[in-house]
């Protein structure tokens, strides 16, 4: 997978082309929409954040979702239809959840009920919304640098074999 930047001048039809990509099944991250709606923060869902390390300098806080080992194994087996052996092998290729929790700013324990997890998410959202002196200035910087962050992530995680246009 690789990242493609879509740009153009005002009134050039970027939103139309972006919608066309969405309509044919291509995911689109709309940084302009995020900026217009004035979110105080944005969640960047990165499965191998600590393993790659290249994005850590771009984020203010890190949140790890954790559960007990039995739940993790059962969820992988159920979700991916893996054998237990295959699931254990996949888990072993990543940093242990305990280590990720140690490195995280915040931890959401997803070992309980959906309601318990949702309560933790809501509490964290409140805490992050209350961060002073960071919201407005950093949001502008984040949105401007959002493309650079994604590019850094993809450079780390993907080998790109890109052909020159015809």
SS3 state at 20: helix
Q: What is the pTM of this model?
A: 0.70
Q: Do you know the residue count of the chain?
A: 166
Predicted pLDDT of residue 40: 82
Residues 6+ positions from 39 with CB-CB distance below 8 Å: 139
Paired tokens of 121: 């998410």
Residues 6+ positions from 83 with CB-CB distance below 8 Å: 77
Predicted pLDDT of residue 6: 85
Predicted pLDDT of residue 9: 83
Low-confidence ranges of the chain (pLDDT < 50): 164
Q: Return the number of other C-beta atoms located less than 10 Å from residue 93's C-beta.
A: 8
d(CA 109, CA 100): 12
The DSSP element (H or E) to which 107 belongs, if any, is strand 106-109
For the segment 75-121, what is each residue's pLDDT rounded down to a tens digit? 999 999 999 999 999 999 999 999 999 999 999 999 999 999 999 99
């Amino acid at each position: 997978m690789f990242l493609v930047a879509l740009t153009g001048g005002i009134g050039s039809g970027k939103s139309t082309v972006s919608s066309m990509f969405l309509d044919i099944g291509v995911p689109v991250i709309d940084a302009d929409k995020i900026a217009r709606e004035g979110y105080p923060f944005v969640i960047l869902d990165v499965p191998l954040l600590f393993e790659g390390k290249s994005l850590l300098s771009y984020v203010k806080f890190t949140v790890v979702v954790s559960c007990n080992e039995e739940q993790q194994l059962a969820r992988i087996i159920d979700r991916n239809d893996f054998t237990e052996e295959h699931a254990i092998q996949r888990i072993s290729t990543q940093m242990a959840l305990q280590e990720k929790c140690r490195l995280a700013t915040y931890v959401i324990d997803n070992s309980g009920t959906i309601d318990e997890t949702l309560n933790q998410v809501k509490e964290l959202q409140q805490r992050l919304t209350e961060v002073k002196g960071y919201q407005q200035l950093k949001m502008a910087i984040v949105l401007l640098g959002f493309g650079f962050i994604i590019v850094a992530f993809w450079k780390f995680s993907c080998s790109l074999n890109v052909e020159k246009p015809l």
